[in-house]
Amino acid sequence: MSELTVKIPFGHSYLNITLSKERLRLVKSNPYPPLTMSSSQVVERSLQSPVGGKRLSELAQSCKEMVVITSDQTRALPSSVTLPPLFSEARRFNPSLRIVLLVATGLHRPMTKSEIMEKFGSQVLDTCSVVVHDANDPKQLVTLDPLSTGTPLIVNRIAYESELLITEGLVEPHFFAGFSGGRKSILPGICGYETIMSNHSPLNISYQAATSGNLEGNPIHIEALEAAQKLNVRFTLNTVIDLEGTIRACFAGDLDSSFRKAVEFVKHHTMVNVPRSPVTVVSNLGYPLDRDLYQGVKGIFTGSLVTEEGGMVILVAECQDGIGHENFYKIFLGQNSPDSIYNKILSGAITGRDLWQVQVLAKVLMRNRVVVVTGNKITSEIASNMFLLRFNSIDEALAQAEAWYGAHCQVNVIPEGPGVIPKPVI
């Protein structure tokens, strides 16, 4: 019986899973066309041919200052590659243009100085100033008229007062916003706590339309787009990368038009039909997305989409930063079951930040067993308190799966984790 070995991203490295070809079903994105230019050239070409609007150099030629909203350390957006050509394009007719880099953190922790240097590099940092958004700092925020849904709109003052506001983002599947990138740079990226909590409310998260790969009728997306339009985002650079972090495509231009182009490209390459299996092994795309268990919920959700009811999802994630968000863990403590947590969230009996991640994980746990193969920052006690099992290796997790589902159970393997959209074949 021939065997197949598949590499699963784990931090900065990989772990291997080896099973017979009869048992292992490899789930992967549709192949990208061969690269014919460098990553910088891909960025430059998109900037030269914007979708649905003027070139950035035309928009910036009479401005004194431009604000660029970018992603934080939790996103794999290669800003050290994308921003130099973006800055060059902005200064093509205006070499003295001042540029402020506004880091969209949402409710994540602030970036450290070393993380800022690692992500952006000296070529970028020597030519702009950097501000890290803080959703809880009233001095940074300004309150605008609420969104049409009633959600309060509280945003970063620098973004609101900017002469020219643009964004850059990574477009990939997102487990409740449909896709990342584009409008998400604004909401949740540079909004205040109350705005983010309202947008990520239990009701919004519970909608069937709020799921990976879908924008139609998705309340998370609809509010984020309206917020971005209210702030008058004039230009956006949307980047698509592969599993190795190589830039595969960029779509620049009008906020919504360029984002939609990027979404169609991502859909074509990431949406795949997959039969359900009793066991699914899934990554969280390696570093930086697997740096904590909070982000790991994205991989767990992806795996659950193609796992049979009562089956087991095995998340492979290093979690070098541990849990990631303290309240995410605290909500689980002392609770009786995932069902109880989920119902308390919907009824309003449990409130506070990070509810959305807890809500999604609890819903998966109501249907599936969840196992984490992880580093030493996530102990067995922590895992147990969250209704999870923890193992040091994929082999140990598979041994448990075989004990529950049989020695010949089928296993779906998703190395790209939340980077793909597996559609269950009914």
Domains contained in the chain, number: 2
Q: Once rounded to an integer, what is the mean pLDDT over residues 103-130?
A: 95
Residues 86 and 223 in one domain: yes
Asked whether the predicted pLDDT for residue 21 surpasses 80, the reply is yes
Per cent of the chain over pLDDT 90 is 95
Last residue of a domain, one of 227, 246, 269: 269
Q: Once rounded to an integer, what is the mean pLDDT over residues 163-171?
A: 98
Residues 156 and 304 in one domain: no
Asked whether the predicted pLDDT for residue 198 surpasses 90, the reply is yes
Tens of pLDDT along 371-405? Answer: 999 999 999 999 999 999 999 999 999 999 999 99
Give residue 352's pLDDT band: very low, low, confident or very high (50, 70, 90): confident
Give residue 1's pLDDT band: very low, low, confident or very high (50, 70, 90): low
Residues 325 and 262 in one domain: no
**What is the average pLDDT value for the chain, to the nearest integer?**
96
Residues 106 and 243 in one domain: yes
> In the prediction, which pLDDT does 243 show?
83
Q: Once rounded to an integer, what is the mean pLDDT over residues 260-270?
A: 97
Global confidence as pTM: 0.92
Residues 257 and 307 in one domain: no
Give residue 39's pLDDT band: very low, low, confident or very high (50, 70, 90): very high
Give residue 353's pLDDT band: very low, low, confident or very high (50, 70, 90): confident
Asked whether the predicted pLDDT for residue 260 surpasses 80, the reply is yes
Residues 86 and 137 in one domain: yes
Question: Could you tell me if residue 178 is left (phi over 0), alpha (psi between -120 and 50 degrees) or otherwise beta?
Answer: left
> In the prediction, which pLDDT does 28 show?
94
Asked whether the predicted pLDDT for residue 113 surpasses 90, the reply is yes
- Report how far apart the first and last C-alpha atoms of the chain are (Å, whole number): 29
Domain of 293, CATH number, reads 3.90.226.30
Asked whether the predicted pLDDT for residue 36 surpasses 70, the reply is yes
108 is catalytic: yes
> In the prediction, which pLDDT does 143 show?
99
Residues 216 and 357 in one domain: no
Residues 250 and 358 in one domain: no
174 is catalytic: yes
Residues 117 and 246 in one domain: yes
User: Which residue out of 174, 221, 269, 325 is catalytically annotated?
Assistant: 174
Last residue of a domain, one of 243, 269, 295: 269
Tens of pLDDT along 52-69? Answer: 999 999 999 999 999 999
